[in-house]
Structure 1
């Protein structure tokens, strides 16, 4: 399985979400459907950021792929726990 690592920005909110959506949509359309989202530099995520990640996950799944998350800062992990997205994503 070939997996593309994508670095998540420090503040993943409305402004960054649009660029992320465009980048991942193009990546998936080009056939890369297994993504590793690297949160090492991310300290904040809002509902827009979460929404874009969930919609990207759905696109990957529709095409037989997966999304895994890595290096979540405790603040960011807390958001995933509160929204129960820890049950959806493989967090390594």
Structure 2
């Protein structure tokens, strides 16, 4: 099964989240449902960014796919810990 890696921007907030949602939706429509999100450049994520990742994850799971997270910045990781999303996603 094909897997896509998506590089997240340095600031992952409202505008970037909308683009991300459309990008992932397009891939899912093409049958790609396994993603690795590369956070190596991402230093900030807001609630909109988190929400889009969670809704995209649900869509992937509905289609027998998944989303994994890679290279979380300590501050971004803290957000995932505080929201308990650390228990939802596989983190590399």
Which TM-score band (shorter chain)? over 0.9
CA RMSD of aligned residues (A): 0.6
| Cα distance, 1:2 vs structure 2 | 2.4
Partner of 2:71: 71
Q: Which residue of 2 aligns with 1:17?
A: 17
Structure 1 residue 2 corresponds to structure 2 residue 32: no
Point out where structure 1 has 5 or more consecutive residues left out of the alignment. none
TM-score, structure 1 as length reference: 0.98
Q: How does the TM-score come out when normalised to structure 2? A: 0.98
5+ unaligned residues in a row in structure 2: which ranges? none
Query: For 2:23 and 2:2, how far apart are their aligned partners in 1?
Result: 17
